[in-house]
């Protein structure tokens, strides 16, 4: 069998300040850079991506892969029409050459383009137009996919990650290969589909599968699949894309319609009824989070205290959800609390996306002290600006060219290209500056600029949940702060215009 493979990833926050243009797909910062053909497969196969997992499983099945395009960009506002058309055009052009028996697509599932609210549905439609209605098309999806009726109708099968942090991307690709194998051949049995939409949006932080209720729901999926001939999914949705089909969807495939329906409806009852009130998270204002963290850090210093740093997630400036990683609310709270002095320099914040400050620090060199303006004031969904930049005398502690191989639970096999980077000290607080946006989801994103996270008292990370994969094992405590930023931790705060009647913005 020859299997056509391609990937398209973008998580679109339609309330975010910056779009995803073609350069966002080619820069190779938080995602591997755009690649095509054999180079795409060479780049993606070793990674923890679903495409990498599919490639591994395909080898076990004896399949040959026909590589097309990999295109991924950091979450932001809509994918520009130019970028979307270039990506779709390349995939369609490769499809038109033929020579394959089935298709695997590594998709995110929550992309919105300027020209298509349902970007993945539009891509699938263009694929179907080339290959016809009968060719098997299996896709992997992110756990945060906003699954649409068009996607469900056009794909032969889809399967979503089951962990957040996404430490099962590769396993999801392997599962997709197994699903494709069941659908190949003239005698392959028919697999029926059933889906049910959850009538409310889920906060991003509440979707963490290390915590309840998400952990139990995923456990129930595993249990139902073990007991019955069904393939089940819970796409929790990305609650910052203002279009009609934004939100969580439970869906699956099976040979018996009644068994499949019963399994999906059991999941729906747990998610939307029994556990509806549990989809919440403790959010703290920036000043309160910092003061609480300092108090907890002192407890960790006690002889019998918990070991490790206190970690604060700056969730509303998460570059993995549409923020630009450049707001200063948490930095200002640290300075106001004199955290650097109180914790004897054991405080670090990263990554702050500020190319101008990073380049200036690199030019000055290690040991120099210079006046810097750190961060930006950016617009939020309210129209108001976030906190202003921080003007400070900063001492340069370390510099880097930002070429960084990563080895963490989500990032192994990826090399980040962050441009000029520097660690500067401001009033005892180490601020890690980068020239490209990347979510703080790997310990090495502190270490490459001389900060050993296990030796810190307090860490501020620009992330929502993904940081937990690497940081939870070393953290004494984890807090989530709601400092002003472009990504609403509470979807009920957003000015929705496209959601259908009856879709609640809070559980």
Q: What is the pLDDT of residues 140-196, one digit of tens each?
A: 999 999 999 999 999 999 999 999 999 999 999 999 999 999 999 777 888 999 999
Q: Examine the domain organization and report whether 232 and 305 are in the same domain.
A: no
Q: Long-range pairs for 253-258 at CB < 8 Å and ≥24 separation?
A: 253/157, 253/179, 253/191, 253/192, 253/193, 254/191, 254/192, 254/194, 254/228, 254/229, 254/230, 255/189, 255/190, 255/191, 255/192, 255/229, 256/192, 256/229, 257/192, 257/194
Three-state secondary-structure class, residue 217:
helix
**Which residues span the domain enclosing 186?**
2-278
Q: What is the pLDDT of residue 106?
A: 98
With respect to residue 165, please indicate whether it lies within any of the assigned structural domains: yes
Q: Examine the domain organization and report whether 19 and 161 are in the same domain.
A: yes
The torsion defined by the Cα of 299, 304, 307 and 310, in degrees rounded to 10, comes to -10
CB 330 within 8 A of CB 348: no
Number of domains in the chain: 2
Q: What is the pLDDT of residue 307?
A: 81
Q: What is the pLDDT of residue 30?
A: 84
Q: Examine the domain organization and report whether 317 and 190 are in the same domain.
A: no
List all residues 6 or more positions away from 363 whose beta carbon is below 8 Å from its beta carbon. none
End-to-end distance of the chain based on CA atoms, in angstroms?
Answer: 45
Q: What is the pLDDT of residue 299?
A: 85
Q: Examine the domain organization and report whether 422 and 440 are in the same domain.
A: yes
With respect to residue 205, please indicate whether it lies within any of the assigned structural domains: yes
CB 453 within 8 A of CB 446: yes
With respect to residue 105, please indicate whether it lies within any of the assigned structural domains: yes
With respect to residue 497, please indicate whether it lies within any of the assigned structural domains: no
Helix ranges (H only) for 244-304 are 257-269, 286-301
Q: Which of 278, 297, 322 is the last residue of a domain?
A: 278
Q: Which of 214, 248, 278 is the last residue of a domain?
A: 278
Q: Examine the domain organization and report whether 125 and 274 are in the same domain.
A: yes
Q: Examine the domain organization and report whether 350 and 239 are in the same domain.
A: no
CB 268 within 8 A of CB 198: yes
Q: Examine the domain organization and report whether 248 and 178 are in the same domain.
A: yes
Q: Examine the domain organization and report whether 111 and 59 are in the same domain.
A: yes
- Residue 43: what are its φ and ψ, rounded to 5°? -75, -45
Q: Which residues of the chain have pLDDT under 50?
A: none
Q: Examine the domain organization and report whether 256 and 293 are in the same domain.
A: no
Q: Examine the domain organization and report whether 292 and 417 are in the same domain.
A: yes
Cα(451)–Cα(326) distance, integer angstroms: 20
With respect to residue 499, please indicate whether it lies within any of the assigned structural domains: no
Q: Examine the domain organization and report whether 398 and 322 are in the same domain.
A: yes
With respect to residue 498, please indicate whether it lies within any of the assigned structural domains: no
The pairing of beta strand 2-9 with beta strand 102-107: parallel
Nearest C-alpha neighbor of 466 from the set 323, 286, 275, 333: 323
CB 315 within 8 A of CB 480: yes
Count of Cβ atoms closer than 10 Å to residue 119 Cβ: 28
Q: Examine the domain organization and report whether 383 and 235 are in the same domain.
A: no
With respect to residue 495, please indicate whether it lies within any of the assigned structural domains: no
User: Which residues sit opposite 208 in a β-bridge?
Assistant: none
Q: Which of 278, 313, 348 is the last residue of a domain?
A: 278
Percent of the chain exceeding pLDDT 70 equals 99
With respect to residue 500, please indicate whether it lies within any of the assigned structural domains: no
């Amino acid at each position: 069998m020859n299997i056509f493979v391609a990937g398209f990833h973008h998580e679109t926050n339609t309330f975010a300040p910056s779009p995803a243009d073609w350069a966002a797909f080619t820069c190779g910062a938080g995602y591997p850079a755009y690649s095509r053909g054999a180079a795409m497969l060479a780049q993606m196969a070793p990674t923890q991506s679903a495409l990498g997992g599919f490639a591994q499983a395909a080898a076990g099945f004896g399949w040959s892969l026909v590589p097309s395009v990999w295109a991924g960009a950091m979450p932001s506002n809509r994918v520009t029409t130019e970028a979307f058309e270039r990506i779709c055009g390349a995939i369609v052009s490769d499809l038109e050459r033929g020579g394959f028996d089935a298709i695997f697509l590594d998709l995110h599932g929550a992309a919105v383009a300027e020209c298509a609210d349902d970007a993945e549905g539009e891509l699938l439609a263009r694929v179907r137009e080339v290959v016809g209605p009968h060719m098997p098309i299996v896709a992997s999806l992110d756990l945060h996919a906003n699954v649409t009726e068009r996607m469900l109708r056009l794909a032969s099968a889809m399967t979503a990650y089951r962990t957040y942090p996404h430490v099962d991307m590769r396993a999801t690709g392997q599962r997709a290969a197994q699903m494709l194998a069941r659908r190949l051949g003239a005698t392959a049995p028919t697999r029926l589909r059933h889906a049910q939409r959850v009538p409310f949006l889920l906060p991003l932080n509440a979707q963490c599968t290390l915590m309840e209720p998400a952990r139990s729901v995923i456990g129930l999926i595993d249990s139902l699949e073990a007991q019955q001939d069904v393939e089940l999914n819970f796409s929790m949705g990305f609650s910052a894309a203002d279009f009609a089909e934004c939100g969580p969807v439970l869906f699956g495939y099976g040979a018996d319609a009644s068994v499949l329906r019963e399994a999906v409806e059991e999941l729906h009852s747990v998610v939307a009824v029994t556990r509806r009130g549990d989809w919440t998270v403790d959010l703290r204002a920036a000043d309160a989070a910092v003061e609480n963290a300092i108090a907890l850090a002192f407890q960790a210093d006690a002889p019998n205290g918990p070991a490790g740093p206190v970690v604060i997630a700056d969730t509303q400036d998460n570059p993995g959800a549409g923020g630009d990683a450049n707001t200063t609310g948490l930095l200002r709270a640290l300075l106001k609390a004199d955290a650097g002095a109180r914790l004897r320099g054991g405080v670090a914040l990263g990554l702050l996306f500020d190319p101008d400050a990073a380049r200036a620090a690199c030019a000055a060199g290690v040991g120099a002290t210079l006046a810097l303006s750190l961060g930006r004031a950016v617009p939020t969904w309210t129209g108001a600006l976030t906190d202003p930049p921080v003007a400070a005398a900063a001492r340069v502690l370390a510099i880097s060219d930002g070429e960084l191989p990563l080895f963490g639970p989500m990032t192994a096999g990826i090399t980040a290209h962050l441009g000029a980077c520097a660690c500067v000290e401001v009033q005892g607080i180490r601020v890690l500056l980068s020239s490209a946006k990347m979510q703080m989801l790997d310990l090495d994103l502190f270490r490459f600029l001389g900060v050993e996270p296990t030796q810190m008292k307090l860490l501020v990370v620009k992330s929502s949940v993904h940081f937990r994969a690497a940081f939870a094992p070393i953290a004494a405590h984890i807090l989530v702060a709601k400092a002003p930023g472009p990504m609403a931790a509470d979807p009920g705060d957003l000015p929705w215009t496209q959601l259908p009647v009856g879709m609640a913005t809070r559980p």
